[in-house]
Structure 1
């Protein structure tokens, strides 16, 4: 009998193709980086959707974090004021993402603070206009991130005179912290999508659909892998515990307020995780 040919190389190629398509789908949705939307073998838009690609969310966080962390370090070596460096890094991340998550935070603040009725809250969140709660939430977010990043940079500036190696070590640590802060919120967001109900049947979150558990937990495992790659084990534990608690609190709050999640809630989670990561690690390092 002749041996049957195996399709393993073909299967691997298909898997790699799906991974590449998923990353391009998420990049096209979560950033303003111009990437062509993936096509299938017949030249039509791929049938894969954002929910199937949710496992790759943390990779986009790494990309956004890397770009803006580079701006942060360049500003530091140009001897710009620390808080100017921090603000420039934040502005660069906003430009890369098109203020996607800031918009979500503002909408959630307006909706949760603007009414007692869940349906009315959802109407307010859908409104493109920004109210006083939204403006305050955005101002507090930008201010908090600027102050926390500036405080982290001050650790490098306070290095002993002439100790270039020490300063470089601190800057590399800050670089890793910044990337981790952008990654973890995006890595945990698919868990909210899998485990919470949709608050409404229309909108971005409904269009994206709910990811399967293998996709959301794949995102979590990828996040854990890179956290242990970027940070010491104790720092990973501190970051993980603080952010899981924050996600649990936000999940509880959004269930009470609107009975489920929306795309704006996910954007809020990304923003809050970034702030919580800086707070947790700054309190630990300092």
Structure 2
């Protein structure tokens, strides 16, 4: 019985570690060979990786704010996120704005997005997103729960785009590809289940439903934008989706009234 359980858990653990290895700088040990199917299946754990990042940033903030001003503690938490992810999503956000802002044809946009240099559109967009993130986190009496929710749910939104959008190949030799190019029904359900469990843990049911409706609408807008610009998505688009969704979540929580009070970690009500 125990052996059968281990045989079932081990492949899933490999998929989780694979997701961690791609989206963070955390060193993990993986099998010598990873199949394309495993790459696709690991997408079910992208939200779990977001949960891990959110918890880590929250812990670092909680430790920092005990000894430092809140402004500095927030910056340290943001820096921790950049370090642990290698600014992976922020890079995609900047590349998307450089490409969409500087290119006319799809080919031009994709070529600009491949370029490792940062342009004016990308630099401006990067400044805006980081400043918005900082100001939003500062508006919370305590950003601990907001960090966990936003890091988790934003990856649900971004990853779900793989399910019903076409991947746009940059070129035959490009190495800039998303980890997964296919999202199965099982992986999609696992992804949503992770986001739902985390949301219900921290938010009342009504606010949880409203937040999901807002994110569903925002996801539709992102899909429309990417399809209009590229007729599909790239890995950079997923990074941009994650970053923008994170901001939408912070702003939504502030609209809900959590800006002047702390979120309860147990009952999901204002304490």
Q: Which TM bucket (shorter chain)?
A: 0.7 to 0.9
Alignment-derived partner of residue 279 in structure 1? 251
Structure 1 CA distance for aligned equivalents of residues 91 and 22 of structure 2? 14
Deviations 1:88-122 (A, max 9, x none): 11111000000000000000000011122111101
Query: Unmatched 5+ residue regions in structure 2?
Result: 260-271
> Could you say which residue in structure 2 is the equivalent of 1:123?
111
**Alignment equivalent of 2:52, drawn from 32, 55, 63:** 63
> Structure 1 CA distance, aligned partners of 2:16 and 2:136?
30
Distance 1:208 1:103 in 2: 18
1:50 partnered with 2:57: no
Over aligned residue pairs, what C-alpha RMSD do you find?
1.8
Whether contact under 8 Å (1:103, 1:264) holds in the other structure is yes
Retained in 1: the 8 A contact 2:75–2:134?
yes
Kept after mapping to 1: 8 A contact 2:58/2:144? yes
Work out whether residues 40 and 179 of structure 2, in 8 Å CA contact, stay in contact via their aligned partners in 1: no
SS for the counterpart of 2:80 is helix
Aligned to 1:30: 23
For residue 183 of structure 1, report the CA deviation from its aligned partner.
0.4
Residue in 2 that maps onto 1:151? 139
* Structure 1 residue 72, shift from structure 2 partner: 1.7
Cα distance between partner residues in 1 of 2:187 and 2:175:
21
Counterpart among 191, 195, 199 of residue 223 in structure 1: 195
Q: Which residue of 2 aligns with 1:19?
A: 12
- The superposition leaves residues 8-65 of structure 1 with CA deviations (integer Å, 9 ceiling, x where unpaired) of 655432220111101100000000011112x2xxxx4243532111111111001111
Conservation of the 8 A alpha-carbon contact between 1:176 and 1:231: no
Alpha-carbon contact 2:43-2:180 (below 8 Å) kept? no
Q: 1:189 aligns with which of 137, 147, 158?
A: 158
8 Å contact from structure 1 (residues 71, 88) kept in 2: yes
**Segment drifting more, 237-246 vs 110-119:** 237-246
Distance 1:102 1:275 in 2: 12
Shift of 1:227: 1.2
User: 1:106·1:134 contact (CA, 8 Å) conserved in 2?
Assistant: yes
Instruction: Say whether 1:266 aligns with 2:238.
Output: yes
Q: 1:251-274, CA deviations, whole angstroms, 9 ceiling, x for partnerless residues? A: 100000011011001011110111
Distance in 1 of aligned mates of 2:178 and 2:48: 23
* Rounded Cα–Cα distance in structure 2 between residues aligned with 1:209 and 1:253: 19
Match of 1:5 in 2: none
2:22–2:179 CA contact under 8 A, matched in 1: no
Shift of 1:237: 2.2
**Which residue matches 1:175?**
144
Which of 64, 71, 79 is the equivalent residue of 1:75? 64
| Offset at residue 230 of structure 1 (A) | 2.5
